[in-house]
Amino acid sequence: MVNYIWFFMIASGVITAALTGRIDTITDAIVKGAEQTITIAIGLAGLIAFWSGMMQIAEESGLMKLLAKAMRPVGRRLYPDVPPEHPAMGALLLAMAANVLGLGNACTPLGIKSMEELQKLNRKKDTLSDSMCTFVLLTSSSLTIIPGTIIALRAAQGSSAPAEVVGPIIFATMCSTASALILDRILRRFYR
């Protein structure tokens, strides 16, 4: 459905520009948009390389495992049906730690590993378990303390203070995560 809406918007813009004799406006917008895309992509490539390297260092130094260990009491409450020493719990906590640190690119493979491990514990293989649903909600709401990608995007666009959004992002992601957890617990009671 969204594809149809986008097609309609683009087609109507091009037709309107052609009928009013302003097709050059469309051409200019396409060129400027392509320039911005390349600029942002190059800026993000550097950031992704930096944070991927930091994630690798954090993993090899044991920092991610230390953070995951510190989060273990929270993990037990969030995922009560996952045994504490099961590999699924470790994968869940590492993915959550990556999300908290704003390492979305690093979180993706950890999230996939988490879901694979949770599937091994799942009794109904064709239905998501409660832990899987909780994990998807928490990953989507994504409590973030260091929003590295947002800071990089702002810096790439020439912001004089790219990190000034950290406070509002922490507040917003705390609210979204709290809402996700509340909704998760409410829906669990209705669908058991």
Q: How many helices (H) and strands (E) does the chain have?
A: 9, 0
pLDDT digits (tens, 9 = 90+) for 120-166: 999 888 888 889 999 998 888 888 888 877 887 788 778 899 889 99
User: How far apart are alpha carbons 151 and 103 in whole angstroms?
Assistant: 12
- 55 pLDDT above the threshold of 80: no
* The two three-digit tokens of residue 129, written as one number: 């378990």
Q: What is the pLDDT of residues 92-117, one digit of tens each?
A: 888 887 788 777 666 778 888 889 98
Alpha helices in the chain (DSSP H): 2-19, 23-61, 63-70, 72-78, 87-100, 104-121, 130-141, 148-156, 166-190
- Sign, CA dihedral 48-49-55-59, equals positive
Whether the CB-CB separation of 51 and 103 falls below 8 Å is answered with: yes
What predicted TM-score, i.e. pTM, was given to this entire model?
A: 0.66
Q: Which two tokens stand for residue 117?
A: 């491990």
